[in-house]
């Protein structure tokens, strides 16, 4: 254990050193001022520091000066700071506690009082170090979990009449967004975008649990009504013993049939998607089905839209709606890039709203689908 004492060389500083020796703490560094300590103490020694004693006479006149020293030390290193001083007016005591002091060692020094104060500060520091280590492990695990969740997203799909790309921007914590698509056969392609309500580890676990079911479910059942019915049942049964309001899910499922030129979809309480036509016409893929996971069975409505020529579909999660509270998100932006590929349009969209440059409280997910049916 390494200790830093800041104060002019005096009998008080010498007594503090002797007291530390009596409790078997001998790695002690003494400096006359906090500036001197911060300027000359090597980084290697700084990392070993676990306690700072600031020896100073506290008065109304110099209270703010001492507080500034405390601020500087706190910004320099995160360890308990004890102020060795004589008792002064309550207002000064309150002020230095407000500045960030951990405790006092009152003069004239008493060894029993000194030992108790140091033990309390040392225990706090050890617990703080352990907590930081645990938080570091958790943060590393969260980074791995984020990568795992991102790897579960479907890669871009490029077919003759159909191209699909996704943009996924993670939040500060784990989230519940996920998209996937599956080519059923030469003419049928299924796309699902869903969002588990809530944030953090719980939402992520729900998302990944559902993701593991989707390939078999979608490629076998195919039809939007049947798929959403089974998805609702699975969510309800998987988490029926838990706090249900944490495990609800919104979703939009689309089945594109390039042979017959049709789009079938079910929107379960999800933000409305956009279907743009070649000449600027827009169709909203509005919610037509209740949220998933609340009841074992729900009424499900499928809507069918005819397709011909060029179309671009934009799907997204609600993280996009909270991105810019002052200005609405311009979805027509994607139509202005009609001649460009999905990936390019998503890149420009990301740049326009600085999606990759900011921290976000919620995941932001956008899926762009381009359909080009020649001769239709």
CB 53 within 8 A of CB 106: no
User: pLDDT averaged over the chain?
Assistant: 89
What is the model's pLDDT at position 204? 87
Quick one: CA torsion of 230, 235, 239, 245, rounded to 10 degrees? -140
What is the model's pLDDT at position 241? 66
What is d(CA 190, CA 83) in angstroms, rounded to the nearest whole number? 67
Confirm whether pTM is higher than 0.85.
no
Q: Which CATH class is domain 152-373?
A: alpha beta
What is d(CA 221, CA 227) in angstroms, rounded to the nearest whole number? 6
Residues 6+ apart with CB under 8 A from 335: 276, 280, 282, 312
Q: Is the pLDDT of residue 192 over 60?
A: yes
Of 230, 315, 325, give the one whose Cα is nearest residue 272: 315
What is the model's pLDDT at position 245? 52
What is the enclosing helix (H) or strand (E) of 342? helix 342-352
Architecture in CATH for domain 2-142: 3-Layer(aba) Sandwich (3.40)
* Span 204-228, average pLDDT: 95
Find out whether the peptide bond into 199 is cis, omega within 30 degrees of 0. Answer: no
**Highest-pLDDT range among 95-104, 143-152, 320-329:** 95-104
- Domain ranges within the chain, ordered by starting residue: 2-142, 152-373
What is the model's pLDDT at position 176? 87
Q: Parallel, antiparallel, or unpaired: how do β-strands 273-277 and 282-285 relate?
A: antiparallel
Domains 2-142 and 152-373 share a fold: no
Residue 274: pLDDT band with limits 50, 70, 90: very high
């Amino acid at each position: 254990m390494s200790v830093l004492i800041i104060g002019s060389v005096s009998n008080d500083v010498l007594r503090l050193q002797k007291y530390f020796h009596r409790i078997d703490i001998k790695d002690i560094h003494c400096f006359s001022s906090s500036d001197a300590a911060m300027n000359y103490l090597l980084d290697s020694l700084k990392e070993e520091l676990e306690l700072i004693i600031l020896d100073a006479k506290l008065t109304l006149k110099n209270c703010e000066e001492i507080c500034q020293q405390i601020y500087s030390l706190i910004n320099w290193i995160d360890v308990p700071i004890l102020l060795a001083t004589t008792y002064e007016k309550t207002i000064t005591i309150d002020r230095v506690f407000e500045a960030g002091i951990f405790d006092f060692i009152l003069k004239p020094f008493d060894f029993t009082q000194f030992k108790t104060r140091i033990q309390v500060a040392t225990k706090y520091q050890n617990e703080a170090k352990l907590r930081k280590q645990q938080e570091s492990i958790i943060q590393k695990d969260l980074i791995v979990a984020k990568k795992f969740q991102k790897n579960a997203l479907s890669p871009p799909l490029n077919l003759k009449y159909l191209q699909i790309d996704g943009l996924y921007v993670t939040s500060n914590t784990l989230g519940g967004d996920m998209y996937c698509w599956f080519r059923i056969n030469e003419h049928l392609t299924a796309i699902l975008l869903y969002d588990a309500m809530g944030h953090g580890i719980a939402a992520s676990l729900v998302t990944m649990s559902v993701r593991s079911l989707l390939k078999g479910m979608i490629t076998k059942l195919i039809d939007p009504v049947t798929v959403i019915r089974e998805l609702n049942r699975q969510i309800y049964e998987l988490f029926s013993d838990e706090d249900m309001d944490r495990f609800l899910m919104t979703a939009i499922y689309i089945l594109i049939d390039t042979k017959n030129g049709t789009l079938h979809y079910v929107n379960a309480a999800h933000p409305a998607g956009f279907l743009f036509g070649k000449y600027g016409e827009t169709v909203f893929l509005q919610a037509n089905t209740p949220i998933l996971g609340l009841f074992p069975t729900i009424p499900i409505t499928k809507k069918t839209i005819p397709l011909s020529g060029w179309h671009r579909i934009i799907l997204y999660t609600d993280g996009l709606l909270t991105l810019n509270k002052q200005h609405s998100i311009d979805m027509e932006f994607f139509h202005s890039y009609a001649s460009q590929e999905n990936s390019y349009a998503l890149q420009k969209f990301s740049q326009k709203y600085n999606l990759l440059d900011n921290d976000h409280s919620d995941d932001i997910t956008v899926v762009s689908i381009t359909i080009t049916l020649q001769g239709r």
